[in-house]
């Protein structure tokens, strides 16, 4: 019996015209092992391991890949690793956060936004990025109201360098405002944290896209004995009609296969 895959379960990302798999592959662990909030340490995989993981993800029906300048070497590694496969992937990257010398810093100016996108295009060896999200520092409304990043992303979309843009924020107010002008919001939503549910509901009502980060609470979810935390997490997530895809950042092939099989079963049941 073959394992379930996500090939026939791709869904629209709001009204962007992009079709995405219900699970996306997060790639922070391909580029950075400092300052990451996971319950146990890990080793950044070598190129052969990373290539096999990407091939496995593709074979399991995952077409969404999530990266960012703040993910260390992630973008630089993905460029060569994905050579010849551009049509197979929906690439999501970010702007606004840099991670250098073990610390994050943020810049939401027009000049930095343009520089960041040009650099990401070069690193990822592509002419366009499917979706770019603002990597918020938590001051969501300030970024949207007083900084130039969102207007600059709108201009870059007009220029064809990005196909869609949105916001990875930390507040309901920021998420909703970001969706009014943008295409997508990335929200935290899991068994432990559901404060941003109103953003998902707004997106569902207005035809906007939602990506979920920390879908498995970065590996921290604990439940009653005998309950599968992955299954319970996906039941919660995919019951929300506004959710297009949940980003899961595993580098373990067994975890990846289990996540995909569980997600496929849950979605077919709902």
Q: What is the pLDDT of residues 189-236, one digit of tens each?
A: 999 999 999 999 999 999 999 999 999 986 666 677 778 889 999 999
| Nearest one of 121, 73, 82, 114 to 95, comparing CA atoms | 114
- The predicted model gives 1-11 an average pLDDT of 89
The domains of the chain are located at: 7-269
- The predicted model gives 128-156 an average pLDDT of 98
Burial 117-154 (b: 16+ CB within 10 A, else e): beebbebbebebbbbbbbbbbebbeebbeebbbbebbe
CA distance 53 to 234: 21
The per-residue pLDDT of the chain, averaged, comes to 95
Q: Domain 7-269 belongs to what topology?
A: TIM Barrel (3.20.20)
Which pTM does this prediction carry?
0.96
Contact status, residue 24 vs residue 248, Cβ threshold 8 Å: yes
Beta-carbon count within 10 A of 103 CB: 9
pLDDT at 224: 74
CB-based burial of residue 41 (10 Å sphere; 0-12 exposed, 13-18 middle, 19+ buried)? exposed
CA distance 265 to 23: 13
């Amino acid at each position: 019996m073959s394992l379930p895959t996500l090939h026939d379960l791709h869904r629209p990302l709001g009204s962007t015209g992009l079709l995405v798999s219900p699970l996306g592959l997060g790639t922070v662990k391909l580029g950075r092992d400092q300052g990451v909030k996971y319950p146990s340490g890990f080793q950044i995989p070598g190129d052969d391991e990373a290539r096999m993981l990407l091939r496995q993800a593709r074979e399991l029906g995952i077409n969404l890949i999530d990266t960012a300048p703040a993910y260390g070497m992630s973008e630089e590694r993905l460029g060569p690793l994905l050579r010849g496969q551009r049509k197979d992937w929906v690439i999501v990257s970010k702007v606004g956060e840099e991670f250098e010398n073990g610390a994050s810093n943020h810049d939401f100016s027009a000049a930095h936004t343009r520089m960041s996108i040009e650099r990401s295009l070069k690193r990822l060896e592509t002419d366009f990025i499917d979706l770019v999200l603002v990597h918020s520092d938590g001051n969501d409304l300030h970024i949207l109201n007083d900084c130039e990043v969102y207007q600059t992303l709108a201009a870059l979309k007009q220029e064809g360098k990005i196909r869609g843009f949105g916001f990875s924020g930390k507040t309901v107010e920021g998420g909703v405002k970001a969706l009014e002008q943008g295409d997508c919001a990335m929200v935290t939503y899991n068994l432990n944290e559901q404060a941003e549910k109103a953003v998902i509901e707004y997106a569902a009502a207005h035809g906007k896209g939602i990506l979920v980060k920390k879908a498995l609470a970065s590996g921290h979810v604990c439940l009653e004995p005998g309950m599968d935390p992955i299954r319970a997490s996906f039941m919660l997530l995919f019951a929300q009609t506004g959710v297009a895809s949940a980003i899961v950042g595993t580098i373990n092939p067994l975890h990846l296969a289990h996540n995909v099989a569980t997600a496929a079963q849950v979605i077919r049941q709902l």
